[in-house]
Amino acid sequence: MKIKLIDAATVIRSKNCSPFELTMDIIINKETDFQNIKKADAINRKVIAEAYNIPLEKVKKVIYFDAAQAIKAVMERPVASGSPGDTDVYGAQQHAPLLKLELEV
C-alpha cells in the first residue's frame, strides 16, 4: 500500500542542525500510519538521498522517535550556513522534496 507523506504527516519541516547540517522533522498524525511507516522502514537514508538527489553518504542518519510519532533525518548542508552561496541561512525552507514523497508501507 502506498501513502503520500503529506497526507500522513501533521508536520514536515526543516531547520539547521548545525552550520554544516540540516535536520528534517516529520511528525505523523496517526499512530497506525507511524507504525506502518516504521515497520516498512519507508523513510530511510536512501529515500532521503533520492528525494534530495544527493549521495547516500551525505545523509547522516534517520531516526524514528516513537514517543512523538516522529522521524528525523539529518543531512549535510551543501554549503555552511551564512557562507557565500547559501540560499537559506536558517535551513527552514529545505523540506519541499519531502512533500512529494509516496511511501510504500
List per-residue pLDDT tens for the chain, 105 residues long.
999 999 999 999 999 999 999 999 999 999 999 999 999 999 999 999 999 999 999 999 999 999 999 999 999 999 999 999 999 999 999 999 999 999 999
Q: How many CB atoms lie within 10 A of CB 62?
A: 19
| Structural domains in the chain plus CATH codes | 2-104 (3.30.70)
Rounded alpha-carbon distances, angstroms, from residue 79 to 18, 89, 93: 12, 10, 15
Q: For residue 103, give Cα distances in angstroms to 6, 7, 92.
A: 10, 11, 23
Spatial contact of 25 and 12, defined as CB atoms under 8 Å apart: yes
